[in-house]
Amino acid sequence: MKKIAFIGAGSVVFTRNLVRDLLTFKAFEDAVITLMDIDEEKLMYATKSVEKIIQAGNYPAKVVSTTNRAQALENADGVLSTICVGDIHVWGKDMEIPMKYGVDYNIGDTRGVSGIFRALRTWPVMMDICRDIEKYCPDAVFLNYTNPMAILCRAMQGETKLNVTGLCHSVQGTAEMLANWIGANKEEITYTCAGINHQAFYLTYKWNGQDAYPLIAKAVEEHYQEEIVRNEMFRHLGYYVTESSGHASEYVSWFRKRPDLIEKYCTHGTGWNPGIHFMARIDYEKNEANWRKEFVEWADNPVNLQRGNEYAAHIFNAVFGDGAMYEFNGNVRNFGLIDNLPAGCCVEVPVLASKKGLEPIHVGALPAHLALLTNISARIEELAVEGAITGDPRKIYQACYFDPLASAVLSLAEIKTMVREMFEANREYLPQFKHFD
C-alpha cells in the first residue's frame, strides 16, 4: 500500500485529475491519498472530489484529509505540491503595480517582475515543506507543480538533497496540439524538447520517424490566428516553443511593449484572452464564485476515469509502482545537460524515470539563437534565486532590470521605483528580507 501526499490539495481541479490518473495504475489502486491544505473549505471540496473518484472506480484506495502537513507527509512515497501563497488579491498586485508603470504582463506567475515576486513569496513556504519532507519522508519522490517553476525548482534543488523535479503540461500539450494540426496521431509522434520551463523548444519533432517540421510550417500558416504569438515566433526562429501564446508574449520584448502591438499580437489568439488592462479582465468575487460553481457542475456529472496526459502518475509508477520506465520533460539543474546554458541553472530536459530514480538526459547545445533567448531568462532566474535565499534585495533589483519586457518599457530608475513598490506590497510575505534597499 503506497502513500501519496498532496500539499496544496485545495487546487481542486489539479488534485482530482492527478488522483484520477494515479488510480488507473494497478500499483496505486489501494493507495492512501492524503490531502493537505490550510484552506479548510477548498480541502473539503478536494476530499469530496477524491471520494467520488474512488467510489466511481470502485477502488480500494483510502483518502485522508488534514490541515497538518506533518501528518500528510509522514512515510509518504510520493509528494505533490500545488500550493499558492496568498489569494487572488495578492497576486493581483503582481499585475496591478507593473501595469501602473506600463508593463503589461499577461499571467505573471512564471517570470518577469511579477513572477519573481511570486517566487519570493512562495520560497519560504516551499522551504518549510522541503524541511518537513526531509524529516518525515526523506526518500519520497517530490513532484512540484507550483509556479514559478524554474525559480522554485532551482532553489529547492540547490538547497536540499531531496529527490525533486518540477512538472509542466506545456510540453506534451503543445506536442499534441501540433500533432492535431498536421493530422497525426499523437502516438506516432516523437520529439526532443529542451530549454527552460515555458521557453523550451522542439529541437526535433517527428511523425513515424520522419521530420515533421515542414508540415508544421504549413500548419502554422493555416492555424496562425489560434496561436498568434507562438506562430509569429516560429516564423522568425524556426523552432516551436512549448508554452501558450499568452505566456510566451510576456517573456520577450517583442509583443507587449506598446498598445498597438498588444492589439495586433496579444488580444486575439493567445488562449488566455489578454488585453491592455489586466484589472478590467478580473473580478475577484466572480473568480471565487466560479470555482465553487465548477465543482458543483463536475459533481453533478458522471466521473470520467480515463487517464489524462499529466506526467506525475507515470513517474510515481516508474519509480515505486510497477517499474515501467517512463520518459518525461522535467525541471532539473543544468549539470552537463544543455551545453550552452549556464551551469547549475534550472533547465527543462528529457528525464528517464525508473526504479533507479530520475535520470536527466544530455541534450547538447541549443541552436545559438535559442540559447541567446533562454540565457537571458535563465540568468535572471539565477539572480532571483540568489536574492531569495540570501535576502539581498540588490539581487532582486538586478534581476528585474534585465527582464525583457520591463526593460523594453522602462528606464533603470523607473524599474527600481516599480520594484520598490512591489517589495512594499509584499512586505508581510518576505521574512527573508530585512530591508528593501
Catalytic residues: 169
User: Which positions ≥6 away from 286 have C-beta within 8 Å?
Assistant: none
Q: Encode 310-335: b = buried (16+ Cβ within 10 Å), e = exposed.
A: bbbbbbbbbbbbeeeebebbbbbbbe
Report whether 198 belongs to an annotated binding site. yes
- Rounded to an integer, what distance in angstroms lies between the CA atom of residue 311 and that of residue 168? 8
SS3 331: strand
| Residue recorded with cell 480500494 | 60
User: Which positions ≥6 away from 230 have C-beta within 8 Å?
Assistant: 240, 241, 243, 244, 245, 248
What are the grid coordinates assigned to 203, written together? 529541437
- Rounded to an integer, what distance in angstroms lies between the CA atom of residue 160 and that of residue 382? 16
| Residue recorded with cell 494540426 | 181
- Rounded to an integer, what distance in angstroms lies between the CA atom of residue 143 and that of residue 92? 26
- Cβ(314)–Cβ(330) under 8 Å? no
- Cα–Cα separations (whole angstroms), residue 387 to 101, 251, 395, 400, 416: 23, 20, 5, 11, 15
Pick from 79, 166, 146, 152: nearest CA to 116: 152
- Rounded to an integer, what distance in angstroms lies between the CA atom of residue 43 and that of residue 7? 10
- Rounded to an integer, what distance in angstroms lies between the CA atom of residue 111 and that of residue 383? 12
- Specify the amino acid at residue 400: C
Which helix (H) or strand (E) covers residue 415, if one does?
helix 412-425
Binding site members for Mn(2+): 168, 198
Binding site members: 147, 168, 198
Binding site members for substrate: 147
